[in-house]
Amino acid sequence: MSGAPQRRAVLIAGPTASGKSALALTRAKETGGLIVNTDAMQVYDVLRVVTARPSIADEAEAEHRLYGFVSPAERFSTGAWASAVEKLIQETDPAHTLIFVGGTGLYFEALTNGFAEVPAIPAEIVAEAEKEIQGLDAENRARLVAERDPEIARRLQAPDPQRVVRALAVLKATGRSLASYQDAAQTGLLEGFELERLVLNPDRDVLRARIAQRFETMFTGGAVEEVEAVMTMDLDPALPAMKAIGVREIADVIAGRMDEAEAIERAVIATRQYAKRQRTWMRNRMSDWTWIAA
């Protein structure tokens, strides 16, 4: 007697504004599959427009999971996301294709290669690490990590604030390098699945234009109201949700510190820089995936 058919998953990665969500929706309608959020900012509630989560209309066309299910007041970790995915896999009909879509490299790493099981880091230690790198540019962040943890410094493709804070906080809380946890035997969350792995790679000028258009439409599409709602929650500015590109810029407009045109310009520049970092990470870690023009 033959065994059960192999479970299947489609992984769709790419820089922000590359068209990932549209492709995921198309594949979901073709296969009857389930779309799973693989973006660290789109887990947060309230900020649907600011984080470019799928629209309500899109969600009505196919089942979407792990979107907007975390309060902006929480500090949601990669480990928490991995746990949510494990539960989702267990609860989902094996016949359904799982379509993972997003731009967070560490989430895809957990899916394919496994997730380093690092002990929970106290919020106050994370806050200390965030304060320590505040105001440092990429060069000085890299120098700081190299001084504290040379091994993890060699592994960082780009010393962006999130990864630097993670490395420093783990070292301070556990006395061990994050690298030692990463080197432990791991199994990807999708071990045993048949995988289709895609990276959307639009032309640079096309991507830049899409990013600019996105922020121009956000201001009339509900982003201002979302940031106003978050501001009433009086959250710690160091929380991940508060660092979503567009939140600080729109908050400055609301407070009268900046006009709309300047806010859009700053948000567009920050997003283009973020997209560049995403592409660098993907070129280094996803070179064996199928790259397609978006």
Annotated binding residues for ATP, written as ranges, equal 14-21
**106: nearest Cα among 70, 87, 79, 75:** 79
In this structure, what is the dihedral angle of CA atoms 284, 287, 289, 293, given to the nearest 10 degrees? Answer: 100
- The DSSP bridge pattern shows strands 194-200 and 98-101 to be unpaired
Contact 11, 196 (CB under 8 A): yes
- From its phi and psi, is residue 164 left (phi > 0), alpha (psi between -120 and 50) or beta? alpha
Which distant-in-sequence residues (6+ apart) come within 8 Å of 182 by Cβ?
A: 116, 155
**123: nearest Cα among 89, 172, 159:** 172
Q: What is the DSSP string of 64-111?
A: EESSS-B-TTS---HHHHHHHHHHHHHHS-TTSPEEEE-S-HHHHHHH
Which distant-in-sequence residues (6+ apart) come within 8 Å of 279 by Cβ?
A: 15, 201
> Which amino acids are annotated as binding site, given as ranges?
14-21
> Which amino acids are annotated as binding site for substrate, given as ranges?
16-21
> Cα separation of 51 and 45, whole Å?
10
Contact 12, 24 (CB under 8 A): yes
**What does the radius of gyration of the chain's CA atoms come to, in whole angstroms?**
19
